[in-house]
Structure formats: structure tokens, C-alpha cells
Structure 1
């Protein structure tokens, strides 16, 4: 919602309420006016104009410059007409003008529409009309003029600041959306294209001959893609309706070297969340096959706790050398950084990696069923690449490492 809309609604309420106040003042002073019928004619015009133009004040698009000029003309006419329909004695005694404080509504309309400069212009015209009607610089006249001028300029300035803040917020949201799309693309590319290119390069190097040339070209394309994915944008994918059973997505991962253990009852998750958790588990298994060897065994354990789904991927490989995780992320290898940690972070969950050299690696994916909304004031979390020497990194969506080191 635009930050201006509450101001327009407040202005409509102000004009209607002050119209009632002006009519009450007119009824109270009816017998003391020089020309009460002339004043009554103006009150009728003011009433019809105020009620009939409510729709014009529902937004900046409808409140045109022509309407603002006409509205201010109605207010100024009432101020100047006061000298004709009222007695000089009442005017000198400080009696209210015919539109009274309704006039401030015209100035506020200028302020909301065009900012403090427009408000200053409208307030100056009102001040000139007041001085012309009073024909003297009385204390009450000066007080009213300053009050209208200052309030109009102040509100106009606040509106300009609010608009600037709204534009800044819109830019920030666009940048955040673009960043998330780039991270999603990086995960998808890592899970498919990059791994195929890396495999072609390795096998080409081993085969030699023409296959070596093919491997060299594949390696070049892999490096180019790793540099490109940080600047590309991915289209959002349509998510299927209804919850999905996480067990059904993880069961196909079972093999002679992968054991899947899950509860006997369904583990329902939001379709997007279920797909992302399954993809993160797949990325963890890819790392096991690549770095622990084809004979390494992996175990997937699914636990449906109270309000939380916990998936653990453990292997009996050699573990991860110290510093490998940070080095891989610096090289642009985003397997852990995006395919695992990034997915869980986007879902409001956490990813924990524990690796002891010689004793295998364990990846723990924890996802709350109802993740808390993100805190817009929270500082960005530090990653393993940024922390470098931090042994453990906590917080929503962070990958916690007992031993730093990584896979691609």
C-alpha cells in the first residue's frame, strides 16, 4: 500500500469534519451577519463542493492540478467574501472567515499532492487573502497565517520524505528478489549442468587423445558458467498445490549404497519446501559420491518432530579436510553454499555439517513447519567464506561446521 493513501483518507475526513464546524459557526452567527443570506449561499456552495469532490481526494491520480486550483479558489473566495457579508466590527474583533479552518484543507491537498513547495505557494495565497480581508496585521491574523503556512510546509516535507523512502524500499525489494533468483539459478546449474561438465572434463583428461580436447573445452565452459551464474536471473517455478509427503521424494534415492529410513506415517510438507529439502539431500549425496568414492555408504534418516522436520545424511567416507569448505566457496563451487545451505535458508531452516577426518561426514537439515517471518532489521548472516576461521556459524539458514572443509 502506498504511504500516501492514509494521508488522502485523513484529508477527506478533515474536510468533512471542518465543513460541519463551519456550518455550526454560520448558524451561531447568523443573526449578527450583515448579509446572512449571502453567507448562506456561500455555505451551500461550500457544502456541495466538499461532498461532491470526495472522490477527487481518493488518490494523487484523481487530484489534478486543475482541481487543486479550483479548490483553492473556493477557499480564497470565501475568505474575501467575509468582508462583504460580515460587519466591520466583528471582523476587527477577530471573527472567523466564512470557510474558517476548512481553508487549511486546501493547503494540505497541495502538500500531499506536490510536496512542501506547492504547500508554501498555497499557504502564501491564503495568507494574502486573510490580510486583505482583515486589512490589518492583528495578532490573531498573523498567528493563523503562520500556523497554516508551517503546517502545510511540514506535511509537504513529510510526504516527500515518505515518497523517497517508498522508492528506496521498492529498489531494495527488487534487489533482494534478483539476488534470490540468482541463488536459485546457481543451485539448479550446480545440481545439473556444472556437474556434467566437471565429469566430462575428468573423464576426458583420463582418456587422452580427442577426449582430452573435449574435456578441456568442457572445463572452459564449466569455468565460464561458474562466473556467469552470479549475474543471471531465473524464472520462478510454479509449485504444485497441496502438501507433499517428503518420504515419497526421498525414497527414490535409496540404492545399494544409500539407505533411507523414514517414519511409518506421512511427513507432509509444503510442495516447494518438500522439493527443496529433497534437492538439498540429493546435493549432499552427490558430494558423498564425488568425494567419498563410489563404495562409500550413506544413510538418510527422516524424523518428524513436534513442529520440525529433521533430515540427516551421514556417510562413512574419509571426512572433509580442514579449510576445504571456505576454499571451495572462494573458488565459486557452490554445492554446500547454495545447493544445501541456500535452500534451507530460503525456507527458514538450518543446515548443520559435522565432519571429522577419517570418520565420515554428517549433514543435518532442520526445517520448521511454520518458519518465523524474516526480520528486516536483522544484519546479514556471516558465511563460512566470510568468516574464514570461525569454527561454528549459527542462525537461521546458516551452515554450521564442526570441521571446516567442503565439497563442491
Structure 2
């Protein structure tokens, strides 16, 4: 049974809720500290007003950070700016004597809220940035460097690093889980299709290929096409088909892509080990090979041999037939007449990949197409 995963960002929801709880709990601690030390402040009423502002901003951030679309730079910068403003007015509200006496600043632990928000939203780097800005502002507000003030700044820095790391791990885990679910769904669909067509389409194609293999003319051509489609269909339902969703960046084994062309009239020789290539390169090389085989079917008698060579720094695919061949200047004439099958379908693809396509043919000696692509594009 396939388990549905939450929408993107779902693993971050508990982190944002935890930040909201932290800000409310730290605000309650601020109230306790201000109530305890209000008689030692220069302006107790102003301190109460700042606590009210903190309460309002705590509610604003709790509501807005709960909406993924609002977790952008405007809210993050506003959050950092509000806390910085409260830190900057703290000396005027508390008075320098109170700060010199070692009393905690008005924000106390509440100023860690933006650090956590930046860390969850952007990872370690953003968390560290917010921690450095607020830590420097807190130390500047006190006017003196005390062990307790320095410890507070270090704790904020550690919180930014740790929470940011956890947030990135959560996002990565969610992406991988989503890919796993999509891959499982694709495999189940492939299995369903395999069950549905195995006892019908594949058997009919195999029967047509066997019965018509010894016939001439259009019947023999029909049998050959049936054999090719049977091989391609078997490769598709067995997993050698298109790259699954979510795995677009994973290397692709070229043997699997070219294996779909193997049939009673097309022989494939490949290394015993995988031939990994970037997905785009592998698919374009396979498409160029298919275009070459189309030419074999039309002009080369239908019988072909494919050879895959992995040379480490490059991969070469050779397609050879025993057809009538053609004169060396035939391709130039075809391009001049507007028939650009070879130029665009084969050479064009290889040029885009940074590779080369060499076509060798002489009348009566067949044709050989050699496609070479480098492992790293220049």
C-alpha cells in the first residue's frame, strides 16, 4: 500500500510550531523579569510598553510564519528589524546604571526568535547570520563585555547552526521520501501494465515475428517490425524505459536504453558492467542510435549490429549494417536537397552533446555509423 506524504514543506511545520511556542514561552519569561526589575529601570512604563510590543509581534509572527507563502524575505527582515529596534532602545528605557549592575536586557531570551526563524527558513548560513547580527547588537547595548552576555551570544550562534542543520535534514528527508513514493507508484503502474499486456500484446507480437520471419516482402517486413516492438515493449515494462520522476539527475545506464532496439534483426554487444551517462546525454545518444537504425531499416536491408564501447573518458556506439552502402558525397547531396535526417537527427544531436558522428560507407560494402560522446561536456 502506498503511503501519501505531506505537501512540500510538511516536515517543517512542527519546527515552525515549536518556534511559536518558544517565542510565547520566552515572552512569559520577559514578563517575569520586567515585573521583578521594573523598580530599577529608568522608565518602567516604557518598559511595559516594549513588553506589549513584543507580545503583539509574537502574535504577528505566529500567524504569518504558519503560512508558507509568507515565509519570505519581507517577514524575515521585519522580524530581525523589530528585535534590533527593541535592543537599541533598551539602554534608554532601562538606563545605563541598571545595565551596568548586570540586569538582563528587556528582550532576554525572546531575541532568539528571529535566529530560529532564519535557521529553519534558510539553513545554517541564515541562522548564523541572524545570530551574529543580534549577538553583536546585544553586546553593544550592554556597553560592557560580561561572561553572561558573551555566553548568550554563543548560545544563539549554536542555536542557529543546530536548528539550521536540522531544518535542512528535514527538507532533504522529505524530498527523498517523495521520490521514493513516486518511484514506488511508477513501479506498481509498470507491474500492472506488464500483467495486462503480457498475455495479449507481447504474445501476439512474438507470434507474428516467428510466423513471418521466413516470409519475403511486406510480410517479412511486418514480422521484423513486430519483433522490434516486442523487444522495446519488454524493455519498457521491465524497467529500462523512461527515467522515473524524481530521478532526473541520476546517471542512466546506456545499455538499458539501447537494449530496447535489440531484436531478431538487430544485435547488441555491450560491456558486462554498466555504462553510466548523464540522463540527457544517454537519451540523446539513444535517439541518435534509433535514427541510424531507421536508416538501416529503410536503406540498409534491416540487419544491423550495435556495439557499445566504454573508453573511460568517452563512450562510443557503433552501428553497422550490410546494406548496399552509398557514395561518399551522397550525404552532402541529401542535405542540399533538404533531406536533413542524418544531419539533424544524428550529427546535430552529437554536436549538441559535444561529441562526434562519423559515417563511413562505400557502395556495396554497407555502412558504419560511429557516435562518440565525452563523459564531461566542454
What's 1:25 paired with?
A: 33
Q: 1:113 to 1:216 in 2, by over 3 A?
A: closer
Q: By how many angstroms is 1:14 displaced?
A: 1.0
Secondary structure of the structure 1 residue equivalent to 2:69: coil
Q: How far apart, in 1, do the equivalents of 2:19 and 2:140 lie? A: 27
Secondary structure of the structure 1 residue equivalent to 2:70: coil
Q: By how many angstroms is 1:127 displaced?
A: 1.2
1:219 paired to 2:203:
no
Q: By how many angstroms is 1:63 displaced?
A: 2.1
1:164 paired to 2:172:
yes
Q: 1:76 to 1:187 in 2, by over 3 A?
A: same
Q: How far apart, in 2, do the equivalents of 1:6 and 1:174 lie? A: 24
| Structure 2 gaps, min length 5 | 1-5, 243-261, 264-378
What's 2:252 paired with?
A: none
What's 1:92 paired with?
A: 100
Instruction: Verify the 8 A CA contact 1:78 1:97 in the aligned structure 2.
Output: no
Q: With structure 2 as the length reference, what TM-score do the two structures score? A: 0.56
Q: How far apart, in 2, do the equivalents of 1:202 and 1:211 lie? A: 15
> How many residues are paired up?
234
Q: By how many angstroms is 1:93 displaced?
A: 3.0
Q: How far apart, in 1, do the equivalents of 2:186 and 2:110 lie? A: 48
Q: How far apart, in 2, do the equivalents of 1:121 and 1:95 lie? A: 26
Q: By how many angstroms is 1:212 displaced?
A: 6.4
Secondary structure of the structure 2 residue equivalent to 1:3: helix
Among 79, 85, 102, the alignment partner of 1:77 is: 85
Deviations 1:85-129 (A, max 9, x none): 224343123211111111011111111111111111111111111
Q: 1:110 to 1:46 in 2, by over 3 A?
A: same
Q: How far apart, in 2, do the equivalents of 1:82 and 1:69 lie? A: 20
Among 107, 111, 120, the alignment partner of 2:119 is: 111
1:45 paired to 2:48:
no
What's 1:249 paired with?
A: none
Q: How far apart, in 2, do the equivalents of 1:38 and 1:197 lie? A: 87
1:102 paired to 2:110:
yes
1:129 paired to 2:137:
yes
Q: How far apart, in 1, do the equivalents of 2:232 and 2:94 lie? A: 84
| Structure 1 gaps, min length 5 | 234-330, 333-408
Q: How far apart, in 2, do the equivalents of 1:66 and 1:190 lie? A: 57
Q: How far apart, in 2, do the equivalents of 1:71 and 1:224 lie? A: 58
Q: How far apart, in 2, do the equivalents of 1:17 and 1:80 lie? A: 23
Bigger helix fraction: 2
1:173 paired to 2:181:
yes
Among 74, 83, 86, the alignment partner of 1:66 is: 74
